[in-house]
Amino acid sequence: MRLDFVTLLAITATNLCMLSAALPLIMGRGAGTAARWVQASVLLQGLAWAAIIASSSAWDQTLSTVSMAAALAQWAIFEALAIWLGPRPGRRLVHALVVAIPLGYTLGFSHYAFRVGWANLLLAALMLTVARATLYPQQPANRRWRLLLMGCLAAMAAFTAARGVLGAFTDAYPSFRTPHPVNIAAAVAANVTLVLGTVALLVAWRDEAEQQLRTLAMTDALTGLLNRRGFEVHGQALRTRAARQRQPLAALLLDLDHFKRINDAYGHDAGDRALALFARLAQSTAGPGDTVCRFGGEEFGVLLLHAGQEGVQRFDQRLRGRLQAESAEALGFPMDYSAGAALFHCGDEDLASLMARADVALYAAKEQGRRQLAMA
C-alpha cells in the first residue's frame, strides 16, 4: 500500500483540531491550569500542521513560519508538567528555543537547507528537553504515563532530527512533501504518538483530579487544615515514624474558650473568622513536620514531632501569645483557648489512645478554669 505524505499530514491536522474541540468538553469548565496548557498544546499543534499544509498553496513564508507554532505546543506541555511534577529543569532553554525556532526559520527562509536544518534540529532539541522534564518528579506522579509521554516525545524528536539532517546536508529531502521513507515514517509516527501522547496526558489529568478529590476529602473547607479523616491518615504515619525511630511525639487537643458566646455576641461570620485566624496561627506556630487539624466546631488537634513536655509548653506559650496579640486587632475581641496534651509512649500505643489521653487532659484544663494547658 502506497502512503501519501500530504494525506497523512491532513489526517494528523484533522485529528488534532477535533481533539482541541473535544478536550474542553471532556475536562469541563473546572479543569485546572495544567489541563488548560494541554488543551492549548493540542490546538497549537493542529494549527501548525494546518499551516504547513496550506503553505504549499499560498503565502509560503508566512504560513510555514506560523507552522513553527509547534514549538509553542511543546512549551505548553512543559508548563503542564511543571504543575503536575513540580519545577522542571530546562525552563530557560525551552523559552530560548521557542523564540529561536521561528525567528531563525523566517530570517533564513531564502536558504532551504538552513531553514530546514535549523527548524527541525532545534525542534528536536526542544522535544528532548520536554521529554527529560517527565523524569524525576518532585511530587507523587504515576510513572507509566510519564514514560509513555517521554517515549512519544523522544520518538518524534528522532524523526524530526532525521528530517533536519536530510534537509540540511543531503538532496534527499527537497520539500516537505517529498515521499522519502523517513518523511513517511515521521508522518505515521505523528499519528501514532498523537494518540498515545493524548492518552498519557489524559491519565495525568485524571490523576490530578483524583488527587484534588482526595485532598478535598481530607481538608476542612473553612480553615484549610486537615479534617478528622486527614488527621487520622497523617497522624498514623507520624505515630509510626515516631515509634520506628524512637522519637518523641506529643499530641494536643485545643478548644477555643466560650466560642458559643462569640457566635451569640458577634455573629457566625465573626465566629468563622475567629476559627480561620486560630487555624492560621496554629499552623504557622507548628513545625514543618508537625500535623494540625480541625476536628470540628471549635476543637483542634496537633501532633508535634520531636517534642517532649518542654516542647509542648513552648508551642503553647507561642500560640497563646500570638493569639492574644492578634485576635483583638484582627477580630475586635480577644480570644483564648484550653489545651490538653499527652506524650507518646513508644511501644504499642495507637493514635486513638494517645488522643484519648490528651482529651482527658483537655477536660482537666477546662475544669481548672480554662485558658491553660494541662498535661496528661
Residues 193 and 94 in one domain: yes
Residues 262 and 200 in one domain: no
The reply to whether 223 falls in a domain is no
Residues 261 and 235 in one domain: yes
CA distances from 265 to 170, 271, 275, 278, 332 (A): 85, 10, 15, 18, 12
Residues 196 and 234 in one domain: no
pLDDT tens-digit map of 176-198: 777 788 888 888 888 899 889 99
Residues 240 and 175 in one domain: no
The reply to whether 42 falls in a domain is yes
- Domain containing residue 309: CATH number: 3.30.70.270
The reply to whether 222 falls in a domain is no
- Domain containing residue 46: CATH number: 1.20.1070
Residues 29 and 135 in one domain: yes
- Global confidence as pTM: 0.71
Question: What pLDDT does residue 220 have?
Answer: 86
Q: Which of 160, 184, 217 is the last residue of a domain?
A: 217
Q: What order of strands is seen across the sheet that includes strand 299-305?
A: 291-296, 299-305, 249-256, 337-343, 373-375
Residues 174 and 276 in one domain: no
The reply to whether 337 falls in a domain is yes
The reply to whether 242 falls in a domain is yes
DSSP state of 4: P
- The tally of domains found in the chain comes to 2
Residues 188 and 44 in one domain: yes
Cell of 140: 507523587
Q: What are phi and psi of 223, to 5 degrees?
A: -100, -20
Question: What pLDDT does residue 36 have?
Answer: 94
Active-site positions? 298
What is the identity of the amino acid at 135?
Answer: L
Per-residue pLDDT of the chain (376 residues; tens, 9 = 90+): 566 777 877 888 888 888 888 888 888 887 889 999 999 999 998 888 888 888 877 788 888 888 887 789 999 999 999 999 999 999 999 999 999 999 999 999 889 899 989 999 999 999 999 999 999 999 888 999 999 999 999 999 999 999 899 888 888 777 777 778 888 888 888 889 988 999 999 999 998 888 878 777 888 888 888 888 888 888 888 888 888 888 888 999 999 999 898 888 889 898 999 999 999 999 999 988 889 999 988 999 999 988 888 999 999 999 999 998 898 888 888 899 999 999 987 666 788 888 999 999 999 999 999 899 888 8
Q: Note down the domain range covering 308.
A: 228-375
The reply to whether 20 falls in a domain is yes
Question: What pLDDT does residue 348 have?
Answer: 66
Average pLDDT, the chain: 89
Question: What pLDDT does residue 2 have?
Answer: 63
Kindly tell me the number of DSSP H helices and DSSP E strands found in the chain: 13, 5
Cell of 357: 489521653
Residues 29 and 96 in one domain: yes
Residues 317 and 241 in one domain: yes
pLDDT tens-digit map of 25-81: 888 887 889 999 999 999 998 888 888 888 877 788 888 888 887 789 999 999 999
Q: Long-range contacts made by residues 1-8, C-beta under 8 angstroms, separation at least 24? A: 3/184, 3/187, 3/188, 4/179, 5/177, 5/178, 5/179, 5/183, 5/184, 5/187, 6/53, 6/177, 8/184, 8/187, 8/188, 8/190, 8/191
The reply to whether 357 falls in a domain is yes
pLDDT tens-digit map of 161-179: 998 998 888 887 777 777 7
Q: Which of 217, 236, 254 is the last residue of a domain?
A: 217
Residues 236 and 195 in one domain: no
Residues 45 and 147 in one domain: yes
Q: Which of 197, 217, 237 is the last residue of a domain?
A: 217
Report the distance separating Cα 96 and Cα 106, nearest Å: 16
Report the distance separating Cα 167 and Cα 108, nearest Å: 14
The reply to whether 280 falls in a domain is yes
